[in-house]
A and B are shown apart, each in its own frame.
Chain A
Amino acid sequence: MRRQRAIASENVRLRLIRKIDDFSAKNLVKCAVYASSIIFFFTLILIPPIAGILENIGKLKTIYYDPSLLTSANLAIINSFTMAFTVATLDLIAALPLAWFIVRSKMKIVNFIDVLVDIPFLIPTAALGYSSLLFWSSQDGISRIFGMETLIPPGFALVLLLHFAFSYPVIVRVMVGELLTYREVYEVAARTLGAQPFTAVRTITLPLLKPGIIVSFLLAFARSLSETGATVIAAGNFENGPVFIFKNIDKVGEGALVYVSSVLILASTIIFFLIKLLAPSLKFPIKRAFPSIERKLSSYEVVKFRDGATILVFLIIVVAPSLFIALPVLSALLDGTVNEMVAGSELWNVFWRSMLISYAVGSISTLMNVVFGLPAAVLIARRKLGRATSIFKALVSIPIIVPSIALGVSLKFFWGKYGFIPEFWVIVFSHTTITYTYFVESMSAAIEGIPVEMEDVAGTLGAKPFTIFRRITLPLTKYAVFSGAILVFTRALGETGAAKAVVRTKEFQTLPVLLVDWIINKRATSSQSALGIGLYIISAFLVLLALRFIIRERRR
């Protein structure tokens, strides 16, 4: 009886799969799936920010009536790019040796360093900004060691240190990946031909790693250019583009916002593509060798000094400011703020509501990106659009390049026209726009990693498109799907700039926007802010942990 029931249920399952299989084999269905993902990209991701700015371009002229505002807007824009370029360059110089250390060193400490690298990734940037502010600028931070009130006051230097810290792991992670896939045999061959280790790295390894170096530089550049929440906290009187928009969004006319946003969007897109185009032709100095100098640079002492200095910079500028928040959170736990939170008050009610909104926005935008981003990733990875694939791929990368608050301003203009769309959904749409690239790019890279022959062979063995996807593509990219989803979710959860731009009423403030408001407008005591940030970090950490646990289970 049980066996018959099992056979019956197997039959039902087979019939269902066969039906979906037959359905998926129809050209019309395949076209519909891909078309829907393209339509989604254009209507929700690409057109809204462009249309939002273009429709309001006429308001640009109003800024010319206010020369002082124009001057400060221009300065803010220049500051944005100067900061991004400086940070990306410094990060590259400091992070590359650490990536090298992680991959090549046999020391036991490597595993510990490897874990520490991800800390700035795990802490939402607004929280990181507050932590850095307390570490570098407050009396209780590093200033105490030097007997000073403020070692580094809010301003350019603090923003530089902050951006350095949160962009640093991007470069380490990309370069660790590159070094792991790099075939060391080239370097070994160079050394057997008489090259000093330093010469071999300079003339063979680094030129071969150039694509990875360019990508990591661009990612750090984009991350610095786009960050808003933490920058606002650490900025003091310093203003870059996102800070200018953040501070003036409710004060100045739309002309100034359109001006700064459009220039940021246009300039960042041009600079990004210029770097991408020109950087590959940049030559490493490989034509000459300097045996005596390079022998010294390869010596045990120099290498040890380099590793020591790298780890020191990493611990002092990246790890310590990121973890410093733990101290005020601990003191908030002990000084009675927790009791006040548990008892409940208007302040904490708003906090919990914002947290709920943040998680709801993060979840829905992640789901939308997974559903519509997956076919787009397949289109890119399998070059299904022929020559147009490269154009589509370039368009997909735009949201990651453009400062998110500038994108938020244009989205605010665009969705503002459609008053009937509830504010919550406008926030969801804007977060979907900002995070779309992360999912599609990570997924398309994962799919590209599967030899196309696997899918071809599965087809010749009788599998229809749905079965090929279900049994071959998905199992082999499952890890990437989850990782991409986590990336999107954490990015959406930590987004301040775009959220600030599109939120119209206080009821829909997301958590990072609320916390930045608490800190810079002093709406909460420092103890309350610390506790709020602590809860934010812990909740994000728990969700990440849960997701990683699910992934690990599934991988088994």
Chain B
Amino acid sequence: MIAEHAIPSHEAAQAPDPMGPQPFRVIKVKEEIAGCTTLTVEPENDEAKKLCFFQPGQFHMIYVFGQGEIPISISGDPSHPQQLVFTIMGVGTVSRALTKLKAGDMVGLRGPFGNTWPVEKGAGKDVMLIAGGLGLAPLRPTIYSILARRELYSRVMLLYGSRRPENILFQEQLDLWNKRMEMNVGITVDSADKKWDGNVGVVTELINDTSFSPTRTIAMICGPEVMMRFSAHALMDRGMSPKNIYVSMERNMKCAVGQCGRCQYGQYFMCKDGPVFSFEQVEQLYKVREV
């Protein structure tokens, strides 16, 4: 079964050859936090321009020449398709190489791939966005989309957990969103010293402290799998149905078009059927321990 929020096949068909990387040039590099960089890239030709139209939750395969290719979620604004923005933490050979790129360098891109966050399903409801660590990056396009059409939604809440204050991603933007009063922003860190005057505690505690109606709320969670599991359970403890809780999964991918099977997760191919799933779809898979 493919998730209801999958991209219609006619849209995928308009994209260039999904297996052939298109050239993109790095135009801006910003170090966000230690080891984590945001790259802004622009297409080098008309074919490459077609890769810039995406929806929140989708990802591209980014090829670093001479190093390899990895999937990276888009962290930019879908309403600005002239360029693509990716936020990358260097945790392996290719991602470290990506964080060392400079303005003017070239990369190859394929995509966009995967399904999307159920942004439309949240219309008329309260929307709770829960991010942990670097998980705020793949959720950011959703935030842009929701705020661009803010009148469609009731309450919008962003709950964000990080290890320490210095690990908080997009700090300036979080402050801005908070000031704009269009969204309730709750931030918590696992530990801090006296210089931090914000909340200390796990992100599930923010969920417990937040007032919301479980029957008219849709939740989207992004972060490490264990954080998403704890958060989904905290929401279900408050009465939410797993049908209305969405998570974004992450696995190593190769082809990104559902051919190679590298990212198979139970009955699903992460690249094609995901990366966004309702918690109802994956709850049982979460219980399976990897060998």
Q: Do A and B bind each other?
A: no
Interface residues of B (CB under 8 A from A): none
Q: Give the B-binding residues of A (Cβ under 8 A).
A: none
